[in-house]
Amino acid sequence: MSDSSQQTKGLAVIGIILLAAGSASRFRAAGGQGNKLNASLPGNASSIFAMTLQQALNSGLPVHVVTRPDNPQVQAECAQAGVTTTLIDSAGSGDSIAAGVQATPHWSGWLVHLADMPFVPAALFLRVSQALQKTCTARPYWQEQPGHPVGFSSMLRDELMALRGDAGARELLERYPALAIAADGPATFVDIDLPTQLGGAL
């Protein structure tokens, strides 16, 4: 399977890792059916994952998705879009980030984004990627609240591949404080975590 990174083969390129390997246990515990990434918002035929994926692809940056073996819908949507995937029974976002970085060693930087955040615009991905030209970590902020995507340069490659568990890259961000990028609104931290949130959109 090919992805858009092949168009920039041999060049330094920053890409997007979409983390889509969560178990969605909170969603189901609150009465949701199946994996929340496969649900749709009212009035939208696309799944939450497909909406997030499209925003990422609209940036023009290469995209790689880390998802679970038991989510064939996400796998099919990636295949249809020509996006490569890594399948993992992830124990947490740390495992997922590590797997995504390991699968894309040719990239010079990574924008780590959550697949349940469909409202982040393509322009914000580009602004964070541009910031990585002058720093090792960068992320958007809106009214002093941190958001996604979170950018990491290649100097942190080994440390990213060593991540494990639920803490994700939190410790890395404590050691390498992120350059703050001003977001245009709260979309940078709005996710879909519960069934009651399916009816709300920005």
What local confidence, expressed as pLDDT, does residue 39 receive? 87
- Round to whole Å and give the CA distance between 135 and 67: 28
Q: According to CATH, what is the number of the domain 21-194?
A: 3.90.550.10
State what percent of residues in the chain have pLDDT above 90. 71
User: Has residue 196 got a pLDDT over 50?
Assistant: yes
Report pLDDT digits (tens) over 91-114: 899 999 999 999 999 999 999 999
Cβ atoms 38, 71 nearer than 8 A: yes
Q: How confident is the model at residue 36 (pLDDT cuts 50, 70, 90)?
A: confident
State what percent of residues in the chain have pLDDT above 70. 84
Report pLDDT digits (tens) over 82-97: 999 999 998 899 999 9
Cβ atoms 156, 174 nearer than 8 A: no
What pTM was computed for the model?
A: 0.88
- Round to whole Å and give the CA distance between 192 and 27: 9
What local confidence, expressed as pLDDT, does residue 115 receive? 96
Mean pLDDT of 132-141: 96
